[in-house]
Amino acid sequence: MQRVTVYLDYLCPFAWWGLELAYVVAPQLGLDLVIQHYSLEQGDHPENASLPRNAPTWKLAEQPLEGPRSLRAFLASHAARQQGKAAHLRFALELFRLHHQDKRELNDDQTFVEVVGRAGLDLERFMADLEDEESRRLELARDLEQAGELGVFGTPTFVLPSGDAAYFRFTQLTTEPELALNLWELFAAVLYNGAHIETIKRPRK
């Protein structure tokens, strides 16, 4: 199995579509899909604006639960991760769908309970892991540090088995397997091309 890491933030619809895409192609290509986290609230915070991405002073994992819009969702994601990679992946997909499709509150325990049910996780264990807030905050801090070291600036950012990494934003999601595979292989072909393509980006009017 070849590992693909996806950095995501639950606030971001592009991250949702990117995860859906990777979820469709992973079994077709034998990819081992691993979720890590990047925080838009931390990355775009005014206090961090002029600082290197690996040296922020405003850190999401150190904030009170009540402030940021995404903190509790990230901690819930780390609680789900305790039940294994596959469970984590299902949890992430269902949380994205419930928030962006069904417009449910992101930072809300009732949402998490429903997601845990849909994703087939052990609810009792999930709640216990979520209550161990200090451990979850440490895990989140580590994820965000790794994203900072890599220079991640948005989500989704994928790290391919070769180590090539890129932000990948598209607006028309397809989960039809052949179209999804075509889209993924196009993305990989861009990163593997010998010209070392750094950016392809449409202007916005």
Contact residues: its own copies, CB under 8 A: 149-153, 157, 164-174, 179, 182-183, 186-187, 189-191, 193-205
Going by C-alpha positions, the residue among 175, 173, 187 that lies closest to residue 25 is 175
Write down the least CB distance from residue 134 to its own copies, Å.
Answer: 29
Nearer to its own copies by C-beta: 109 or 149?
Answer: 149
Nearer to its own copies by C-beta: 37 or 90?
Answer: 37
Phi and psi at residue 28, to the nearest 5°: -65, -35
Write down the least CB distance from residue 129 to its own copies, Å.
Answer: 30
Strands 31-37 and 157-159: unpaired
Write down the least CB distance from residue 177 to its own copies, Å.
Answer: 14
Nearer to its own copies by C-beta: 124 or 198?
Answer: 198
Write down the least CB distance from residue 187 to its own copies, Å.
Answer: 6
- Any idea of the CA torsion for 66, 69, 70, 71, to the nearest 10 degrees? -20
Contact 36, 7 (CB under 8 A): yes
Nearer to its own copies by C-beta: 126 or 168?
Answer: 168
Going by C-alpha positions, the residue among 194, 187, 190 that lies closest to residue 31 is 187
